[in-house]
């Protein structure tokens, strides 16, 4: 989340707190990619090669580290949930568009299926335990020689 915030701040963007939107919502990430495309078009129009290169670099990194990693799976999941429907078509469009953007940027698109993490503590690679397990110490323990 902090990495996304850094991307947005680097381009002068911030979420409107009254909007109650998550910074990692797909609509926010797609809108940021749109901003980068517009900024690149502006740089092309002005002949500003440095701005164009920096904007393309940002788009590559953003696709590689964020939108390109999860959007293909998100889109395909949406398509599977609503086959033949509006949201299914939107999901297919999302997956195809982001995959093409990744190809343009020369970064690998994420998989079409992402495995979700298990909510079970037993299957977690590392867990701290339950609140009861963590709150076993009720008073400070005196160290040797500390009176």
- pLDDT-derived band of residue 114, with 50, 70 and 90 as boundaries? confident
Instruction: Spell out the residues 6+ positions from residue 80 whose beta carbon is closer than 8 angstroms to its own.
Output: 88, 91
- If you average pLDDT over each of 1-15, 35-49, 111-125, which comes out highest? 35-49
**Residue 136 burial class via C-beta count within 10 angstroms: exposed 0-12, middle 13-18, buried 19 and up:** exposed
Q: What per-residue confidence (pLDDT) applies to 9?
A: 82
Residue 102: which of 54, 51, 53, 62 has the closest Cα?
62
Nearest-angstrom CA–CA distance, 3 and 65: 9
pLDDT of residue 79: 95
| Tens-place pLDDT, residues 123-136 | 555 555 555 554 45
| Main-chain dihedrals φ then ψ at residue 22, nearest 5 degrees | -75, 145
- Distance, in Å, from the CA atom of 62 to the CA atom of 73, rounded to the nearest integer, reads 17
Torsion angles phi and psi, residue 133, rounded to 5: -70, -30
Average pLDDT over residues 21-27: 82
User: What are the distances in angstroms from CA 17 to CA 20, 22, 23?
Assistant: 6, 10, 11
Across the range 94-107, mean pLDDT stands at: 95
Residue found by looking up tokens 């393309």 in the block = 56
pLDDT by residue (tens digit) across 39-96? 999 999 999 999 999 999 999 999 999 999 999 999 999 999 999 999 999 999 999 9
């Amino acid at each position: 989340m902090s990495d996304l915030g850094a991307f947005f701040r680097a381009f002068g963007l911030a979420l409107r707190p009254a909007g109650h939107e998550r910074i990692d919502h797909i609509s926010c990430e797609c809108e940021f990619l749109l901003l980068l495309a517009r900024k690149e078009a502006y740089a092309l129009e002005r002949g500003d090669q440095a701005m164009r290169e920096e904007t393309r670099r940002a788009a590559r990194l953003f696709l590689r580290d964020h939108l390109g990693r999860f959007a293909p799976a998100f889109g395909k999941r949406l398509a599977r949930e609503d086959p033949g429907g509006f949201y299914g078509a939107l999901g297919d469009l999302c997956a195809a568009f982001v995959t093409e953007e990744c190809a343009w940027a020369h970064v690998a698109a994420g998989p079409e299926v992402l495995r979700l993490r298990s909510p079970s503590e037993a299957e977690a690679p590392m867990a701290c335990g339950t609140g009861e397990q963590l709150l076993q110490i009720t008073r400070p323990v005196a160290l040797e020689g500390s009176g």
